[in-house]
């Protein structure tokens, strides 16, 4: 976790200085329910969800965050109707095509977490291009978990570690949690301090299950298309009120 940011870092209307998160991760949930409550097609809910993503990326930069990870498409989402899966792919393409140049200019590094296996060629080319286009940036990390599952990520990491053990580049006697993390998709990003889930659901849904071991969980009763800067600030303020012990005792405990 980083030290408290200055007033300039928190931005106008940002959360108060103090214990400040370095990395916020968000499970963007509720697009379908948002649309259903308005008698609109689910695709419209996903479109509004992309608008919420744009707002949130901007808000995260405004308040002084350095790392933001969002859960966009899980390995389990393939079970949805083909039409909805294709619509989600289309939204990713639209977001990257519209926003990639701006993100690159703003110093944002885009990382795509998850497996490329099973992705259509045009989507795989798109995510590769987004990563390559922003690879040299370091001002802000935007990680998009796409075709991602926490358990699947760990299995892939184990496979990579096994290959390193087999070719002798990794010593089994020195393999520990820290060295294992180099094989995860998030190897260059700190673990999340906060995991936010919108829509009032209370579960991680296979999201960052290694990295979120000691994250503070914040469940918010707001559907993702309605999420904005005020909700991000609320989550950060909730985090700032908590005491993180990482398995130890509370401060002042005997």
Residue 167 falls in the annotated catalytic set: no
List the catalytic residue out of 29, 99, 185, 193: 29
List the catalytic residue out of 22, 62, 77, 226: 77
Average pLDDT over residues 161-165: 96
Average pLDDT over residues 115-136: 95
pLDDT tops 90 at residue 15: no
Q: State residue 185's pLDDT score.
A: 97
- The rounded distance, in Å, linking the Cα atoms of 26 and 223 is 12
pLDDT digits (tens, 9 = 90+) for 36-86: 999 999 999 999 999 999 999 999 999 999 999 999 999 999 999 998 998
Place 231 in a pLDDT band, splitting at 50, 70 and 90: very high
- The rounded distance, in Å, linking the Cα atoms of 46 and 128 is 23
Domain boundaries, the chain: 18-151+191-240
Q: State residue 253's pLDDT score.
A: 55
| Domain 18-151+191-240 homologous superfamily, CATH | Decaprenyl diphosphate synthase-like (3.40.1180.10)
Q: State residue 5's pLDDT score.
A: 41
pLDDT tops 50 at residue 3: no
pLDDT tops 60 at residue 157: yes
DSSP notation for 200-239: T----TTSSTTTTTTPEEEE-SS-GGG--HHHHHHHHHHH
Residue 221 falls in the annotated catalytic set: no
């Amino acid at each position: 976790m980083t030290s408290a940011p200055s007033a300039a870092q928190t931005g106008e209307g940002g959360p108060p200085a103090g214990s400040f998160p370095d990395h916020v991760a968000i499970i963007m949930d509720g697009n379908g329910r948002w649309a259903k409550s308005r008698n609109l097609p689910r695709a419209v809910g996903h479109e509004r969800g992309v608008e919420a993503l744009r707002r949130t990326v901007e808000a995260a930069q405004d308040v002084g965050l350095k790392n933001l990870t969002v859960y966009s498409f899980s390995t389990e989402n393939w079970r949805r109707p083909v039409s909805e899966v294709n619509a989600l792919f289309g939204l990713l393409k639209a977001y990257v095509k519209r926003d990639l140049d701006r993100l690159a200019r703003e110093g944002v590094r885009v990382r795509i977490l998850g497996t490329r296996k099973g992705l259509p060629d045009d989507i795989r080319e798109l995510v590769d291009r987004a990563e390559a286009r922003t690879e040299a940036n370091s001002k802000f990390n935007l990680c998009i978990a796409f075709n991602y599952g926490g358990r699947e990520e760990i299995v892939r990491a184990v496979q990579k570690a096994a290959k390193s053990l087999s070719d002798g580049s990794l010593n089994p006697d020195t393999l520990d949690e820290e060295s294992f993390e180099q094989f995860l998709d998030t190897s260059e990003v700190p673990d999340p301090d906060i995991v936010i889930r919108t829509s009032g659901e209370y579960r991680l849904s296979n999201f960052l299950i290694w990295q979120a071991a000691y994250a503070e969980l914040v469940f918010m009763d707001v559907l993702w298309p309605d999420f904005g800067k005020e909700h991000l600030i609320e989550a950060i303020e909730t985090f700032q009120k908590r005491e993180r012990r990482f398995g130890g005792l509370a401060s002042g405990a005997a």
